[in-house]
Amino acid sequence: MVTGATGYVGGRLVPLLLESGYRVRAMGRSIAKLEARPWSRHDRIELVKGDVYDRDSLAACLNGCWAAFYLVHSMNPREKNFEAADRKAALNMASAAEEAGLKRIIYLGGLGNKNSANLSKHLKSRHEVADILRSGTVPTTFLRAAVILGSGSASFEIVRYLVERLPVMITPSWVNTRNQPIAIRNVLYYLRGCLEKDETEGHTFDIGGHDIITYRELFDIYAEEAGLKKRVIIPVPFFTPFLSSYWIHLITPIPYEISVPLAEGLRNEVLCDDNRIRSIIPQDLLSCRETIRLALDRLNRNQVDTCWSDAGCLLPPEWLYCGDSDFSGGTILSCAYRSRIRAATEEVWRHIEQIGGKTGWYYGNFLWKTRGAVDHFLGGIGLKRGRRNSNRVMVGDALDFWRVIEVHPYQKLALLAEMKLPGEALLDIRMEPEGDDMVELQLIARFLPRGLLGMAYWYSLYPFHRILFKGMLNALAGKAGKHMIIKPHRFEPDVTKTCEDKPFPGT
């Protein structure tokens, strides 16, 4: 079984295991998110809904498996105390694995001296999880990795954004900290190898590439491979962990809640003390330069298989699927516009599926960027996160400051807001065919406010919604190069139709 199957590492490990002939059970908290993965219809895959914070569901998912990969991490914007959450999840895993009779757990954690008083909370938590898993009766193989580099990894994105956006960097002292990066490809081969080599059972191994370099040197290599001028780097001693993490958050798409523990860990030297695994599971280890070159190539070809932002729970609030204000605990506010275009649905859907990211929102991009900048300044994710693939979307994908919660090709794209809001918001883009050569295009925003601040927020932005929605509908018709039969106009959406027709995701 692979836990965290829709995360950055798990989403790449599952297809590798399938290609190697294994039968794989992929576990996630949302079946809809699992079903959206390209490998979800493989004849040797089984998709199961489970939660590491729910011991009973975890035990049920493990039943019948002989080994499990533990690839979950609670460090995300929604989790305020990731150490406590990781501790609970690890205790559940150790207990459930014993009950299910597993022969082996394989856990990917972090390097660093766990006895060091200077070790970051993030790395301490990674070691604590390993200790908890190993305290059970099921043998646990602990792979300790430093910086994982690859297209879409959080570490790679931090390097990419800092180097590309800052010709001159005033940096914290951690820029001279040594580390031993490893390519995601090599990490995956080590994980798979732990299934095939019995001598890895129950042991701890350090995994890293051959290069031992500073972050400054890593920045220089990226600049060379990206065809950029060498960056001017000026380290200063007064950057506190708080300032350092906020600096990373402002420049990169990494949310503040994640950048804080990551920035704290950058001060720790993470090097491999034990290279035994290289002889047990031999492979060609990519250099940092080769890894960055490969990652940039995949970015340029729009072939990023998984991204750091893929991880996370996909459980939208139920009011989004039931237009019952009493059930939801408040009044659901909405703003909806529609127009009619003389076009086939396929001609319009192509542009809907490309919305956001580098494509933008077709109209009022300045307003979208302003809202994203405000959110980013307040510690939210802003628009910098972009999207994993510029041509297609899957359930669970991050899309700027939205999360894709539904994709019905040629019918509907539903986005759940992940920016900082005094409430919960959804944006629906719907298409309803009117014969073979006509389509009604709808934009529907719904909002469940929290208190007076939420009401004030909604009504202060309402005029902008009206301007944006009209402009977006006109722009989509223009992009498709088709004639608009009925101009954009406001209407009252039937929210109960969604509740009747669409089940809640994951049920």
How many structural domains are present in the chain?
2
Ramachandran angles phi, psi of 105, nearest 5°: -120, 135
Do residue 446 and residue 386 come from a single domain?
Answer: yes
**DSSP per residue, 349-416:** HHHHHT-BTTTB-SS-HHHHHHHHHHHHHTTS--STT-BS-SS---TT-EETTEEEEEEETTTEEEEE
> Is residue 507 included in any domain, yes or no?
no
Ramachandran angles phi, psi of 453, nearest 5°: -65, -40
Q: Which among 247, 282, 307 is the end of a domain?
A: 307
Do residue 255 and residue 336 come from a single domain?
Answer: no
Q: Which of 43, 502, 113 is CA-nearest to residue 269?
A: 113
- Integer angstrom CA distances of residue 196 from 15, 104, 143, 191, 280: 16, 12, 15, 9, 10
Q: Which among 262, 281, 307 is the end of a domain?
A: 307
Q: Which among 307, 326, 341 is the end of a domain?
A: 307
Residue 482: what residue type? K
pLDDT < 50 stretches in the chain: 323-329, 498-507
Do residue 253 and residue 167 come from a single domain?
Answer: yes
pLDDT of residue 308: 73
Do residue 241 and residue 131 come from a single domain?
Answer: yes
> Is residue 313 included in any domain, yes or no?
no
Do residue 268 and residue 335 come from a single domain?
Answer: no
Do residue 57 and residue 203 come from a single domain?
Answer: yes
Residue 170: what residue type? I
> Is residue 2 included in any domain, yes or no?
no
Q: Which are the contacts of 461, defined by CB distance < 8 A and separation ≥ 6?
A: none
pTM given for the model: 0.80
In this structure, the dihedral spanned by the alpha carbons of residues 9, 10, 13 and 14, taken in order and rounded to 10 degrees, is -160
- Integer angstrom CA distances of residue 33 from 48, 345, 494: 11, 25, 26
| CATH code, 400 | 3.30.530.20
pLDDT of residue 150: 93
The CB-side HSE value for 375 (13 A sphere, CA atoms) comes to 24
> Is residue 5 included in any domain, yes or no?
no
Per residue in 189-233, pLDDT tens?
Answer: 999 999 999 999 999 999 999 999 999 999 999 999 999 999 998
> What CA–CA distance (Å, rounded) separates 48 from 377?
38
> Is residue 195 included in any domain, yes or no?
yes
> Is residue 312 included in any domain, yes or no?
no
> Is residue 440 included in any domain, yes or no?
yes
Do residue 301 and residue 338 come from a single domain?
Answer: no
Per residue in 124-141, pLDDT tens?
Answer: 888 999 999 999 999 999
Do residue 288 and residue 331 come from a single domain?
Answer: no
Do residue 350 and residue 286 come from a single domain?
Answer: no
Do residue 235 and residue 375 come from a single domain?
Answer: no
Hey, is 8 helix, strand or coil? coil
Question: What are the helix (H) ranges across 252-317?
Answer: 256-265, 277-280, 288-300
| CATH code, 222 | 3.40.50.720
Do residue 264 and residue 383 come from a single domain?
Answer: no
Identify the domain containing residue 487 by its residue range.
318-501
Q: Which two tokens stand for residue 482?
A: 């088709």
pLDDT of residue 165: 87
> Is residue 61 included in any domain, yes or no?
yes
Do residue 169 and residue 194 come from a single domain?
Answer: yes
pLDDT of residue 303: 80
